[in-house]
């Protein structure tokens, strides 16, 4: 009724309640909004712990996120990066990207740490090395359109953008589901697979 998208409403809530420059508090405030006001399909705290654990174990220096949305996952990833690491995040929707950019900067991450790239993933991935100085991803977090998971994984492979021993973390592969991606990951012989059981966000 207000004409303000819910992502923008969530950001206004962040501005009013979150501590600028405190990534952990930014995420907590997002969670409060999603639990008590309006649902947003962010990673959320339960699955967030899986992401945090993987970041701690792998200590990746180059991270690629596909599907920035409001920037929740981006802040979650960025706060767990080791010193000197860089995160590239790709969002196809310019309006979502505009909100995410403000959230990322509010959390205290500059462009040296987090680069937000706006555009369809199938167009951005082939240009990552030349246009953005991307090397090879140690960790990829997929949280965009599920139907794009397999296509984009193959693009990363064909453009040799995955480091040796890279970790691919893909959200919601069972529901709403990415069956072709899952089948490929399990049967192509390139990956060791583990499914993390989790509930839907919030």
pLDDT of amino acid 29: 98
64, 88 contact by CB (below 8 A): yes
CATH number at residue 75: 3.40.50.150
131 is catalytic: no
**Token pair belonging to 11:** 């950001």
152 is catalytic: no
CA atoms within 13 A on the CB side of 17: 16
> Which residue is catalytic, options 31, 143, 157, 190?
143
> Which residue is catalytic, options 110, 146, 157, 164?
146
Q: Would residue 151 count as lying in a domain?
A: yes
Distances from the Cα of 38 to the Cαs of 48, 52, 62, 67, 90, in angstroms? Answer: 19, 25, 33, 20, 24
pLDDT of amino acid 31: 97
Q: Would residue 194 count as lying in a domain?
A: no
Q: Would residue 197 count as lying in a domain?
A: no
Q: Would residue 1 count as lying in a domain?
A: no
Q: Would residue 193 count as lying in a domain?
A: no
87, 78 contact by CB (below 8 A): yes
pLDDT of amino acid 200: 85
pLDDT of amino acid 189: 96
> Which residue is catalytic, options 171, 186, 190, 194?
171
pLDDT of amino acid 2: 78
Which stretches of the chain drop beneath a pLDDT of 70? none
Q: Which domain holds residue 180?
A: 6-188
pLDDT of amino acid 63: 98
List pLDDT tens digits, range 142-152. 999 999 999 99
Q: Would residue 67 count as lying in a domain?
A: yes
**Token pair belonging to 54:** 């993987």
> Which residue is catalytic, options 172, 186, 190, 194?
172
**Residue 71 backbone class (left: φ over 0; alpha: ψ -120 to 50; beta: rest):** left
Q: Would residue 201 count as lying in a domain?
A: no
194 is catalytic: no
Q: Would residue 89 count as lying in a domain?
A: yes
| Cα 178 from Cα 170, distance rounded (Å) | 9
Total structural domains within the chain: 1
């Amino acid at each position: 009724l207000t004409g303000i998208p819910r992502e923008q409403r969530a950001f206004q809530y962040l501005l009013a309640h979150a501590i600028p420059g405190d990534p952990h508090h930014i995420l907590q405030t997002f969670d409060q909004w999603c639990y008590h006001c309006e649902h947003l399909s962010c990673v959320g705290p339960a699955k967030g712990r899986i992401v945090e654990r993987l970041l701690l174990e792998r200590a990746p220096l180059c991270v690629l996120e596909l599907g920035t949305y409001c920037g929740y996952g981006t802040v979650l990833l960025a706060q767990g990066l080791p010193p000197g690491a860089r995160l590239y995040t790709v969002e196809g929707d310019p309006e979502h990207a505009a909100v995410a950019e403000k959230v990322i900067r509010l959390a205290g991450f500059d462009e040296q740490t987090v680069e937000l790239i706006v555009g369809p993933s199938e167009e951005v991935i082939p240009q990552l090395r030349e246009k953005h100085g991307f090397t090879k991803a140690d960790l990829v977090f997929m949280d965009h359109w599920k139907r794009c998971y397999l296509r984009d994984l193959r693009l990363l492979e064909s453009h040799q953008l995955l480091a040796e021993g890279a970790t691919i973390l893909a959200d919601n592969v069972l529901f709403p589901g990415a069956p072709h991606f899952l089948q490929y990951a399990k049967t192509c012989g390139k990956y060791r697979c583990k499914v993390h059981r989790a509930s839907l966000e919030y």
